[in-house]
Amino acid sequence: MSTQCCFFNAFHRFRFTLTNRLYPTISILCRTGLSRSSSHGSLLVLQLACVLILYSLVLPCLPALADPETDRACLSKCHGQLKRQVEIQGKLAMHVDVAALRSSIHQQLSCLDCHQAIAQIPHKEPIAPVDCVDCHYKGNPRHAPGGGEYRDYVESVHGQIQEDGKKRPRCIDCHGTHDIRPPSDEQSRIYKMRIPETCGQCHTGIYEEYEQSVHGQGLLRDRVLDAPGCVDCHGIHRILSPEDPLSSVYPTHVSQTCAHCHDAVEIVGKYGVSTGRVVSYQQSYHGLANKYGVRAIANCASCHGAHNILPSTDPASLIHPDNLHQTCGQANCHPQAVESFALGPVHLGVVSPPYDIAKWIQNAYIALIVLVIGGMLLHNILDYISIRRRKRHGFH
Ligand code: HEC
Ligand code: HEC
Ligand code: HEC
Ligand code: HEC
Ligand code: HEC
Ligand code: HEC
Ligand code: HEC
């Protein structure tokens, strides 16, 4: 058994080094060799070309599919056993759901493709965790999609968590291990409708609020794929704290984040939601101050909430007429606001029944401006013509 395993192991290491490490190095060397060939002669380029040709002859001979032999070695006595009774050095070998792996996006990979740290089978020491970035980097020869995830993740609020009792989400917390599926697959943890649940494993309170909101009910109950899940507002791998000025939910960026959908008739229009809301906010006092970077001024989320957004007709909504005095009266906004707080239209110019009068006044003003300036111009033109006439007829 052990000689056989050594052989498999050596074979796998060779295959892996070749596809994952050697190929990118060769192609980089080749590119630099080519660009310098004019000054250093063509010898280097020739050598590199030879290596490349040799390599491309070897590559197609290597098996691309899961390697049944090694997988059998891993599964037959240990990880394929349903009952976790196989004891290795005092520890139970864990059962692996092979069916899940074979129906996942990684169905073509063999155990050792991912578990590269295993040097012999059976392995005695606990093994180092799988590193997704062994394959998921830009330009990898296995065509693993993506590439920027790792860098984005490292820079994100999650990647920056120092281990001090807080659970830092790793790739596998959001993606799974042997059952990873692409975002388009309805069974995937990262399918649009399942993302809130995936984030909700840790952010439980926020998930509960979100589930009840107009967006949560739209997405989770009514299957409205246009409604935002967590990542539509927060980003995917580069999620940042709302305190970070680069975050999509930093106070002065919130209106842009909502605008992606609420500015677009083709997205929210379908659901009978009025679209003038972003422009009308931007033109308001709040919107103008916010645009010039005043953090403390009301943004969409200050009045509507972030995870508990509801239509104004819902009695639990922060913008329900009965709750407005409380919403506007937040300590750092208008603390003097009492029950009878006279709220003008927040969304100036949006024609909704109570504010028809504002629209009328706006139109009247425009008419008045046209009349006054137009009249003034007309008066001056007539005056000019009459002066010219008088001059022509010799009056002084
Ligand atoms: C797509 C890569 C991938 C492939 C292929 C893969 N694994 Fe894993 N496996 C993982 C990840 C990720 C973990 C989670 C622990 C870690 O990060 O190392 C894991 C964990 C395990 C564990 C620990 C128990 C558990 O479920 O968390 C065992 C045992 C295991 N794998 C065996 C296997 C066997 C046997 C095969 C081949 C049939 C296999 N793996 C194929 C990625 C993979
Ligand atoms: C041995 C190389 C390898 C490792 C290790 C690996 N992957 Fe992959 N991954 C691939 C390949 C190849 C594909 C594309 C498969 C296909 O399209 O058939 C893929 C596809 C994916 C996809 C689907 C992407 C899409 O848009 O379709 C996700 C998600 C994914 N991997 C996540 C992970 C995570 C998370 C890990 C770490 C636990 C991981 N992978 C480890 C090779 C790897
Ligand atoms: C906080 C949760 C979370 C973490 C942590 C996370 N991802 Fe993702 N990842 C997602 C979500 C959600 C999507 C799907 C986005 C979408 O809808 O397209 C995704 C998509 C992907 C894809 C598919 C990209 C594509 O273009 O199709 C890959 C590959 C991937 N992630 C790899 C990784 C790797 C590698 C890590 C670890 C460095 C990681 N992810 C960590 C949530 C996460
Ligand atoms: C494995 C647990 C886990 C998962 C899954 C997870 N997070 Fe987190 N998240 C954390 C932890 C821990 C923090 C740091 C909290 C802190 O510092 O107070 C955090 C921080 C955040 C923050 C910044 C909070 C702040 O006040 O600075 C945001 C935003 C966030 N996560 C969004 C998400 C989204 C969106 C998803 C899903 C795509 C997700 N998280 C998935 C554990 C998780
Ligand atoms: C409609 C956009 C939107 C959606 C959808 C959304 N968020 Fe947020 N989130 C925000 C905004 C805006 C903030 C900034 C804080 C505020 O103003 O209340 C925020 C703040 C946060 C914070 C940090 C502050 C806090 O309240 O602890 C976390 C963590 C978070 N969101 C996680 C999530 C998770 C998890 C989901 C999915 C279940 C989600 N968000 C869905 C817009 C959204
Ligand atoms: C990914 C797109 C998207 C984003 C981002 C988004 N929304 Fe929405 N929003 C929708 C859709 C779609 C609906 C209608 C849902 C339904 O009726 O099922 C909606 C409904 C609403 C409603 C209820 C309107 C009504 O007349 O019933 C309000 C209020 C709202 N959103 C405010 C916001 C705010 C504030 C933000 C930013 C923090 C935001 N939305 C971000 C897509 C989005
Ligand atoms: C100062 C508080 C405030 C701000 C800031 C604000 N809104 Fe509003 N919003 C309201 C109030 C109050 C209403 C209900 C009265 C009305 O229809 O104008 C409303 C109504 C709405 C509606 C219709 C909801 C319904 O049920 O009829 C949408 C959609 C909306 N706002 C989106 C936004 C977006 C997007 C932003 C940011 C660009 C934003 N709002 C900024 C207070 C605010």
**Tokens 């995830």 appear where?**
149
- φ, ψ for residue 306, nearest 5 deg: -110, -50
Query: Average pLDDT in the 40-59 region?
Result: 58
Rounded CA separation 169/166 (Å)? 9
Distance CA 264, CA 198 (A): 28
211 C-alpha to ligand 6 centroid (Å) = 14
Q: What is the mean pLDDT of residues 367-388?
A: 92
Name the residue type at position 312.
S
Q: Which residue did the predictor score with more confidence, 5 or 168?
A: 168
The more confidently predicted of residues 263 and 90 is 263
Judged on CB neighbours under 10 Å (0-12, 13-18, 19+), 111 is: buried
Whether pLDDT at 60 is above 70: no
Q: Using a 6 Å CB cutoff, which residues line ligand 4?
A: 157-158, 161, 166-167, 169, 173-174, 195, 198-199, 201-203, 230-231, 234, 239, 241
Q: Is residue 391 pLDDT above 80, yes or no? A: yes
Q: Which residue has the higher pLDDT, 68 or 250?
A: 250
Residues, the chain: 396
On the question of pLDDT at 207 being above 60, the answer is yes
3-state SS assignment for residue 91: strand
Identify the residue whose C-alpha is closest to ligand 4 atom 32: 239
Ligand 3 contact via 236 beta carbon (within 6 Å):
yes
Q: Which of 17-31, 142-156, 183-197, 239-253 has the lowest mean pLDDT?
A: 17-31
pLDDT, tens digit, 9 for 90 and up, residues 253-290: 999 999 999 998 889 988 989 888 888 998 888 999 99
The residue whose CA has the least distance to atom 37 of ligand 3 is: 171
> Is any atom of ligand 6 closer than 6 Å to the C-beta of 222?
yes
- Which residues, judged by CB distance below 6 Å to any ligand atom, belong to the binding site of ligand 2? 105-106, 109, 113-114, 130, 132, 134-136, 142-145, 171-172, 175, 180, 182-183
Q: How far, in Å, from the CA of 161 to the mean position of ligand 1?
A: 25
Q: How far is the CA of 143 from the centre of ligand 2 (A)?
A: 9
172 CA distance to ligand 3 middle (Å): 9
- Give the distance (Å) from ligand 1 centre to CA of residue 20: 19
Nearest bound ligand to CA 266?
6
Q: Which of 214, 183, 215, 178 is nearest to 198 (CA)?
A: 183
CB 298 near ligand 7, within 6 Å: yes
The pTM of this model reads 0.83
Query: pLDDT tens across 319-335, in order?
Result: 999 998 889 888 888 88
What mean pLDDT comes out for the span 374-388?
A: 93
- Residue 183: pLDDT above 90? yes
CB of 301 closer than 8 Å to CB of 310: no
Report whether pLDDT(31) > 50.
no
Cα(358) to ligand 1 centroid in Å equals 64
* DSSP H/E element including 87: strand 87-88
Percent share of the chain, pLDDT over 70: 75
Q: What is the mean pLDDT of residues 296-322?
A: 94
